[in-house]
Structure 1
């Protein structure tokens, strides 16, 4: 769905900005320019439309939004960015797509804009953006090609990024005399006690394919597991990976009925409708729990850190945004990205009901939203290698792990042989793609 956001009324923040900039307007040369933004038709981005209108009011830069259903977004962006001259000035991607976009030469490195004093807001403070979000969504070319490292380059900024936290029913925990779990041993003990009391414990994704893989990854990271070692050998049959699969089996056995059919929406709905005592997944559950259209448990939810196993390790995921290599209005696009993710823009997103990406925003609003202090404390533990952001991941995610893990939660077969077979399939894929030629 494409639409143009026209000029609206100045917010107080906008008025202050215009007053301060009265003697030097960095946007003046771009007034009347129209940029086209491609992003998903999801809640965070829908809420951002008011901020986009304020951007136009303050800068004179018109914004046309092409909002597409999430599953159609990648194909449309690839088509448009592969042209000699594209239509999009800004694109927003799921973190798994960043490596593909860069490897195909479809994105503009943002470093070139930081050489321009006329474009860069000296008060932007890039270091204030959560490092886990920035590295996961916007940096490409470091260790393993997608992790931080000296060879990495910045292609995007996080917008709609996320990590995982534990949400739990305060009333149920109080009635049952349960302590909020801080470790995986405690989590598994609480799951069993709730189950014995006849209360579905932890809701979870479990649908065959990428959904069940995501559920397993949530446990794999804190339990010390990885998908690959540093030589690209798959290690999804390691003791840590098998333990994560065992935890997932226990979740399915003690959680609400239907987990093998649950995607994220169904898993969240089970918690929001009062059919589970815990939810361990994206932080987005907090805003959902406050939404009367979705939730029956507003006011009954507490938030805690993702439990630790041998280490702390929460999810890294969500969206980032950058500038196509064939964008017609790159400088105006950079100003748009900078505005939307500035300290004032991030605070405005909070006011609009979106998800902040800055540590200062989380801390400054911790008294308003119960989960913000937890998220700020969680982010240093967010794992940049939570999943391998490589082109082969889609096949590994759906066809290998997504099938094996379904067998784990729907049968009582020994887990080790299931994961051994999956590991062999993963290695064959990596060998086919040439990952072992240098060995």
Structure 2
């Protein structure tokens, strides 16, 4: 009876809504298949005869969600971060991405990418590949083999790129459709995503074609929006007929017509934000990248207040940290600078708020993911924070222990990882 159920015991910490932190000390979560049946402070009597995985005094939190990660840029972490966005792309990013024409090189890098995602506790991720459909299919396969969940996109670029990364419009669309057909039903937790790099690298014909594919195959979309003032000026030159940057994507059917992630969103005007909220566009906030490339501080509090969904992104390799815990800390830090710049009028973020963004906020793009509520898929990290405490572990509340892990913990503290109800061991490629 009920032998298909899993019961896990520990200190549950999760964020069911923005700013709300739920803590359940010495409690139980019951998982049926992929999904959570319930959380209980006392185990119901009908389950008393079932085996329990008891993690003792460890923290159990939802797995981290990374909404924006450029997998082929992994080897470039820490390089060129004394430049702005556009020079950095030309000098570092495009030359590195051109190497992924070589499938052996791609496999070597992507094995490391997926292992690092697992190691740092990212259980769901939205990944950019390159223009190369075979290499990007390898990336998707490795993510699935590791048991992680996510979206993987073949990047599209038919203008304003180096010769080694330039596609024709027809080839870009044909390769994208081949990629979709070969991968859309291959894996349970990993799916393709339509990925125009950004407006400057995609003609209107390409964007329209990608929108048709998104609709035809019912796929989400990911791209970049308003990351850098030079980029925004460039978009205005390329599309003078459009009211703003967001309107370009809207015009070509890539702005919420299918579920959409837009990374950065630092300089959007009121009309753009209203359109983002109306079209249910999700923002990937990438504080490390925005700092490293001198892009600016996104007005995330304003976006959320106006009804825009926001999750977090590492933005490897504009960002240098794979750890979403570290991205959470950076999100708090830059929000404090925004608070100061606003004459202390725009409140800075709290730990429960950024924890929500890193879990349920970003996880909602994948469905019922990122919380320990009934019906949610059980993605979880088990955190042994014993070594982070200066005296006895009971000195700190569960909320304080979470905060200390975010700021001073690392992957050594993650002793178990679950994705969709299944425990995931370290990938062996």
TM-score band w.r.t. shorter chain: under 0.3
Q: Which has the larger radius of gyration?
A: 1
- TM-score using structure 2 length: 0.28
- TM-score using structure 1 length: 0.27
